[in-house]
């Protein structure tokens, strides 16, 4: 059964028109399950009906014509209950509704299952039998499994380029598609989607109708000619150097390209109304599927040839595509994973947005985007890159929404929102040079998270009270080997020099998780629970010692270095780290001090980011000089939710009662043992959280430079006594939903409503 299931799912994934794919499912299910009838209905939320879109067994004429209300008949009942309904005789069931057009009088046994994606009913699939009988448990389980698989295919159909037949909004080339991802970095922007290196493949292409059929035919013929020339050249180049059977593949290519072969078929698809790349995709994928299903291994292999050939022609078709008339100075960078290196390739002033198919709101890509103040949307792993490439895009980093090819009215609305946002930024900017101080005069130490990009940090340095977190791993990630001690010394010295009179907290290497080193590759099933941060560097003391030596050497002549250890779980790790730091200290003292120079012993601290450390604060305090709360990881480990996984991003909740309880416990315990605490996770820049943190007693926050002014503005509107009243109220709430509502209301009352609206 599993094989059958896989086959069916694979087949539907390969058919580019959704209605045809669903018809194929209905047909295959009748065959595989040996039943009389299978039908599929899709939900139409606008009209609140389930539309019959495919059947094998009911009247074929009723497809596309019959709809059943959400609260009507057995279909509506399945949708309402959200679970399978298995009845021996549908016609005697109290919810049965007779619809003469479908001609189902002969059927009695009925099993219907909802097709659900992310808690939303997308449709219903039914099987029916002529006999009066209840379907067996196995049959029910099979249908439920298939429905779950189909849900994914249907939910992502449009963005994957699979479309409904005759759907009016698909008929014009300039259709708008709205794609929902995970918010990565707030902000609104307009730009042209750009996928680096044009890594678009035929399989990813989104089907589109033709604007000009004769133009598409001409373009296609040109692309074929160019491909033929390439193949001719290849044939000549390899003649005599490869065996004949390899050379004969190129002959096959030439034959396939002939007008009588692929050519005519592609052209007739264009005449049906598809544009050239779509027509090519439909024909090539049709052939590919036919070959792939053949049992003769030789013929099976030909599927690869057809695909390869299609890819060659496709490259000519899309590379010559005219860039639409949008401002190409405004780039929305799109990639599987947007990396720091990729960002460096584009001038900052042109980069207007980031779309990273992988990752989530707390991935380092998103943190980097926030540090740069560029809107970002993450977590669209089922969407092909081609959907975005060279199309005008509206990116909304607050809600995680992307509009590709926006309609005129939407573009206007968006431009208005951008103006409102700029107005808010203007207000915030007035606070940039001020000190962080509450309305009732309580000062706050506001530090900077640095290290994601050296040139970024420089402009913010004057506005903060020091560096609260210097992430050292980025320079390690950008190289092809570990940076040498001297290279590290130069880098760290620049940081220490920039802030001679303020503290600079350097974190030792925290690679692993979503920050792998390209030159230290290893596979782990759960990288965030694996060989990360201090776990890796304690296993490699040679890396750790070189890094600490570099920090210490860089600090000669300064007194502002603090060293911080990431991913600490136990006191023994701190002791071992301190032993190595002491060793490095003695070495630097012996080897590098000139006459009269002194090496100041740096303060040492640990990140509180593994929940275990929350229960170890007194013992840890005996070992270290300070704590820094890394809420990005603390929340992920406390709530058991991968900070990088978009599927569970809604569970990653800054305001979860457990998160608040832990944060309060940390500050209370640290105060009790007189050990200073900074909070350096992204939570420190969340306006709602700032109210609570101040009330709890946090007085040192470290945030990315781009957020400094915003945080200063928020802090300036808070009255500590008021904040404590809010905290008391919030701590009594059972769930983050209620907590969010209370805090949004309070932000409105404080005159910070603009931030709440922007955050929606």
Least distance to ligand PEP from the beta carbon of 478, Å?
Answer: 16
Of these partners, Mg ion, ligand PEP, none, which one is at the site of residue 353 (CB under 5 to 8 Å by kind)? none
- Kindly state the DSSP code that residue 682 receives in the 8-state scheme: G
What distance in Å separates the CA atoms of residue 342 and residue 473, rounded to the nearest whole number?
Answer: 16
Of these partners, ligand PEP, Mg ion, none, which one is at the site of residue 266 (CB under 5 to 8 Å by kind)? none
Half-sphere exposure of 542 (CA within 13 A, CB side): 3
Q: Encode burial over 563-576: b for 16+ CB neighbours within 10 A, e otherwise.
A: bbbbbbbebebbee
Q: Please choose, out of 192-200, 267-275, 376-384, 624-632, the segment that lies near ligand PEP by the rule CB under 6 A.
A: 624-632
Least distance to Mg ion from the beta carbon of 647, Å?
Answer: 21
Where would I find the beta strands (DSSP E) of 74-172? 85-87, 109-117, 120-129
CA quadruple 751, 757, 758, 759: dihedral positive or negative? positive
Contact criterion met (CB below 8 Å) for 412 and 390: no
What distance in Å separates the CA atoms of residue 168 and residue 625, rounded to the nearest whole number?
Answer: 66
Residue 121: phi, psi to the nearest 5? -75, 115
Least distance to Mg ion from the beta carbon of 675, Å?
Answer: 19
Q: Does 630 bind Mg ion (CB under 5 A)?
A: yes
Q: Please choose, out of 77-85, 133-141, 381-389, 625-633, the segment that lies near ligand PEP by the rule CB under 6 A.
A: 625-633
Task: Report the Cα 646 to chain-centroid distance in Å.
Answer: 6
| H or E stretch at 617 | helix 617-621
Residue 156 or 508 with smaller CB distance to ligand PEP: 508
| Structure token digits, residue 164 | 């409904």
| Structure token digits, residue 76 | 């509506």
Please identify which of the residues 37, 38, 108, 364 carries the catalytic annotation.
364
Least distance to ligand PEP from the beta carbon of 632, Å?
Answer: 3
Q: Does 471 bind ligand PEP (CB under 6 A)?
A: yes
Q: Please choose, out of 59-67, 516-524, 630-638, 732-740, the segment that lies near Mg ion by the rule CB under 5 A.
A: 630-638
**Choice from 680, 692, 714, 747 touching ligand PEP (CB under 6 A):** 680
What distance in Å separates the CA atoms of residue 368 and residue 632, rounded to the nearest whole number?
Answer: 13
Q: Does 684 bind Mg ion (CB under 5 A)?
A: no
Alpha helices in 239-296 (DSSP H): 244-257, 264-271, 276-292
Residue 154 or 565 with smaller CB distance to ligand PEP: 565
> From residue 588 to residue 627, what is the string marking binding to Mg ion with x (rule CB under 5 A)?
---------------------x------------------
Q: How many residues bind ligand PEP (CB under 6 A)?
A: 11
What distance in Å separates the CA atoms of residue 554 and residue 599, rounded to the nearest whole number?
Answer: 10
Residue 63 or 608 with smaller CB distance to ligand PEP: 608
Residue 443: phi, psi to the nearest 5? -80, 155
| H or E stretch at 457 | helix 454-458
CA quadruple 739, 742, 748, 752: dihedral positive or negative? negative
Q: Which residue, judged by CB position, is nearest to Mg ion in the bound state?
A: 633
Residue 216 or 609 with smaller CB distance to ligand PEP: 609
Residue 128 or 628 with smaller CB distance to ligand PEP: 628
Contact criterion met (CB below 8 Å) for 663 and 693: yes
Longest CA pairwise span in the chain (Å) = 102
Of these partners, Mg ion, ligand PEP, none, which one is at the site of residue 421 (CB under 5 to 8 Å by kind)? none
Residue 510 or 746 with smaller CB distance to ligand PEP: 510
Of these partners, Mg ion, ligand PEP, none, which one is at the site of residue 428 (CB under 5 to 8 Å by kind)? none
Cα-based angle 558, 560, 564 (whole degrees, multiple of 5): 130
Residue 514 or 633 with smaller CB distance to Mg ion: 633
Please tell me whether residue 747 adopts helix, strand or coil conformation. Answer: helix
Least distance to ligand PEP from the beta carbon of 624, Å?
Answer: 17
Residue 224 or 369 with smaller CB distance to ligand PEP: 369
User: Is 364 known to be catalytic?
Assistant: yes
Please tell me whether residue 422 adopts helix, strand or coil conformation. Answer: helix
What distance in Å separates the CA atoms of residue 644 and residue 515, rounded to the nearest whole number?
Answer: 11
Please tell me whether residue 601 adopts helix, strand or coil conformation. Answer: coil
Q: Does 681 bind ligand PEP (CB under 6 A)?
A: yes
Least distance to Mg ion from the beta carbon of 511, Å?
Answer: 11
Of these partners, Mg ion, ligand PEP, none, which one is at the site of residue 396 (CB under 5 to 8 Å by kind)? none
Q: How many residues bind Mg ion (CB under 5 A)?
A: 3
Q: Please choose, out of 206-214, 284-292, 631-639, 660-668, the segment that lies near ligand PEP by the rule CB under 6 A.
A: 631-639
Q: For residue 154, which of 176, 130, 125, 131 has the smallest C-alpha distance?
A: 125
Of these partners, ligand PEP, Mg ion, none, which one is at the site of residue 108 (CB under 5 to 8 Å by kind)? none
Please identify which of the residues 37, 108, 680, 706 carries the catalytic annotation.
680
Q: For residue 468, which of 690, 684, 718 has the smallest C-alpha distance?
A: 684
| Structure token digits, residue 618 | 């007194």
| Structure token digits, residue 420 | 């409102």
Rg (CA), the chain: 31
Q: Does 307 bind Mg ion (CB under 5 A)?
A: no
**Choice from 112, 353, 630, 754 touching ligand PEP (CB under 6 A):** 630
Q: Angle, to 10 degrees, between the axis of helix 18-33 and the axis of helix 137-155?
A: 170
Least distance to ligand PEP from the beta carbon of 551, Å?
Answer: 17
Residue 292 or 651 with smaller CB distance to ligand PEP: 651
Per CB under 6 A, which of residues 495..514 are in contact with ligand PEP? 510
Q: Does 633 bind ligand PEP (CB under 6 A)?
A: yes
What distance in Å separates the CA atoms of residue 203 and residue 285, rounded to the nearest whole number?
Answer: 8
Residue 400 or 451 with smaller CB distance to ligand PEP: 451
Q: Does 73 bind ligand PEP (CB under 6 A)?
A: no
What distance in Å separates the CA atoms of residue 68 and residue 96, rounded to the nearest whole number?
Answer: 11
Least distance to Mg ion from the beta carbon of 89, Å?
Answer: 60
Least distance to ligand PEP from the beta carbon of 680, Å?
Answer: 5
Judge residue 59's burial from the number of C-beta atoms within 10 Å of its C-beta, 0-12 exposed, 13-18 middle, 19 or more buried.
middle
Of these partners, Mg ion, ligand PEP, none, which one is at the site of residue 686 (CB under 5 to 8 Å by kind)? none
**Choice from 227, 631, 645, 704 touching ligand PEP (CB under 6 A):** 631
Who contacts 674 (Cβ-Cβ below 8 Å, separation ≥6)?
Answer: 621
| Structure token digits, residue 357 | 């198919």
Of these partners, ligand PEP, Mg ion, none, which one is at the site of residue 469 (CB under 5 to 8 Å by kind)? ligand PEP
Residue 176 or 632 with smaller CB distance to ligand PEP: 632
Residue 303 or 371 with smaller CB distance to Mg ion: 371
> From residue 360 to residue 399, what is the string marking binding to ligand PEP with x (rule CB under 6 A)?
-------x--------------------------------
What distance in Å separates the CA atoms of residue 534 and residue 576, rounded to the nearest whole number?
Answer: 10
DSSP secondary structure string, 71-92? TSHHHHHHHHHTS-EEES-GGG
Q: Which residue, judged by CB position, is nearest to ligand PEP in the bound state?
A: 630
User: Is 680 known to be catalytic?
Assistant: yes
What distance in Å separates the CA atoms of residue 718 and residue 140, rounded to the nearest whole number?
Answer: 58
What distance in Å separates the CA atoms of residue 347 and residue 152, rounded to the nearest whole number?
Answer: 37
**Choice from 56, 72, 633, 746 touching Mg ion (CB under 5 A):** 633
Q: Does 632 bind ligand PEP (CB under 6 A)?
A: yes
Query: What residue ranges bind Mg ion (CB under 5 A)?
Result: 609, 630, 633
Query: What residue ranges bind ligand PEP (CB under 6 A)?
Result: 367, 469, 471, 510, 609, 630-633, 680-681
Catalytic residue numbers, as ranges: 364, 680
């Amino acid at each position: 059964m599993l094989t059958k299931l896989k086959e069916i799912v694979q087949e539907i994934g390969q058919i580019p028109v959704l209605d045809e794919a669903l018809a194929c499912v209905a047909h295959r299910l009748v065959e595989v399950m040996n039943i009389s009838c299978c039908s599929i209905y899709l939900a139409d939320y606008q009209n609140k009906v389930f539309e019959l879109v495919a059947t094998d067994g009911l009247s074929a004429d009723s497809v596309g014509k019959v709809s059943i209300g959400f609260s009507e008949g057995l279909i509506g009942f399945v949708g309402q209950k959200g679970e399978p309904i298995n009845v021996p005789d549908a016609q005697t069931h109290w919810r049965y509704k007779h619809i003469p057009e479908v001609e189902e009088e002969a059927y009695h046994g009925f099993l219907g299952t909802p097709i659900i994606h992310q808690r939303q009913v997308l449709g219903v699939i039914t099987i029916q039998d002529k006999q009066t009988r209840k379907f067996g448990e196995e049959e029910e389980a099979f249908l439920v499994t298939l429905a779950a698989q189909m849900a994914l295919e249907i939910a992502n159909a449009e963005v994957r380029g699979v479309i409904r037949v005759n759907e009016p909004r698909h008929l014009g080339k300039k259709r708008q598609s709205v794609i929902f991802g995970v918010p990565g970095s707030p902000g609104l922007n307009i730009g042209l989607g750009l996928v680096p290196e044009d890594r678009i493949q035929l399989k990813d292409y989104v089907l589109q109708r033709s604007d000009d059929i004769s133009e598409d035919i001409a373009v296609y013929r040109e692309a074929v000619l160019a491909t033929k020339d390439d193949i001719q050249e290849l044939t000549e180049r390899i003649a005599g150097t490869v065996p004949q059977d390899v050379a004969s593949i190129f002959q096959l290519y030439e034959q396939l390209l002939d007008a009588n072969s692929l050519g005519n078929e592609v052209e007739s698809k264009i005449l049906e109304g598809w544009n050239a790349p779509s027509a090519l995709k439909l024909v090539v994928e049709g052939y590919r599927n036919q070959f792939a299903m053949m049992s003769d291994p030789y013929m099976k292999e030909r599927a690869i040839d057809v695909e390869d050939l299609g890819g060659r022609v496709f490259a000519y078709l899309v590379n010559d595509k005219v860039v639409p008339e949008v401002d190409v100075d405004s780039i929305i960078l799109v990639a599987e994973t947007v990396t720091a290196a990729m960002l460096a390739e584009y001038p900052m002033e042109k980069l207007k947005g980031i779309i990273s198919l992988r990752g989530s709101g707390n991935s380092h890509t998103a943190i980097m985007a926030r540090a740069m103040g560029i809107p970002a949307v993450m977590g669209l792993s089922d969407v092909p890159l081609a959907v975005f490439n060279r199309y005008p895009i509206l990116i909304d980093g607050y809600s995680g929404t992307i509009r590709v090819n926006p309609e005129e009215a939407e573009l206007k609305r968006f431009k208005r929102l951008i103006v409102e946002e700029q107005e808010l930024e203007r207000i915030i900017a007035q606070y940039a040079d001020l000190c962080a101080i509450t309305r009732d005069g309580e000062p706050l130490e506001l530090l900077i998270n640095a290290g994601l990009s050296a040139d970024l940090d420089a402009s913010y340095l004057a506005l903060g009270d020091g560096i609260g977190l210097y992430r050292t791993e980025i320079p390690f990630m950008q190289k092809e080997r570990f940076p040498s001690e001297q290279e590290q010394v130069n880098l760290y010295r620049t940081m220490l020099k920039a802030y001679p009179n303020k503290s600079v907290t350097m974190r030792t290497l925290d690679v692993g998780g979503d920050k792998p080193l390209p030159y230290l590759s290893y596979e782990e099933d759960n990288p965030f629970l694996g060989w990360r941060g201090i776990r890796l560097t304690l296993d490699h003391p040679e890396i750790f010692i070189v890094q600490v030596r570099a920090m210490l050497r860089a600090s000669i002549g300064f007194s502002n270095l603090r060293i911080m250890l990431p991913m600490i779980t136990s006191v023994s790790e701190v002791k071992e780290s301190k032993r190595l730091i002491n060793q490095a200290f003695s070495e630097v003292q012996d080897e590098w001090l000139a006459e009269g120079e002194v090496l100041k012993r740096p303060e040492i601290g640990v990140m509180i980011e593994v929940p275990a450390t929350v229960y170890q604060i007194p013992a840890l305090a005996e070992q270290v000089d300070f704590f820094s709360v890394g809420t990005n990881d603390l929340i992920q480990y406390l709530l058991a939710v991968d900070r990088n996984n978009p599927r569970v991003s809604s569970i990653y909740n800054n305001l979860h009662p457990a998160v608040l309880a832990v944060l309060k416990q940390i500050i209370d315990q640290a105060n009790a043992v007189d050990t200073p605490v900074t909070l350096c996770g992204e939570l420190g820049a969340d306006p709602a959280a700032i109210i609570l943190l101040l009330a709890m007693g946090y007085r040192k926050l470290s945030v990315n430079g781009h957020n400094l002014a915003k945080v200063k503005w928020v802090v300036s509107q808070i009255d500590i006594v008021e904040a404590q009243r809010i905290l008391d109220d919030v701590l009594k709430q059972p769930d983050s939903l209620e907590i969010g509502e209370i805090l949004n209301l309070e932000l409105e009352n404080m005159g910070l409503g603009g931030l709440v609206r922007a955050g929606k």
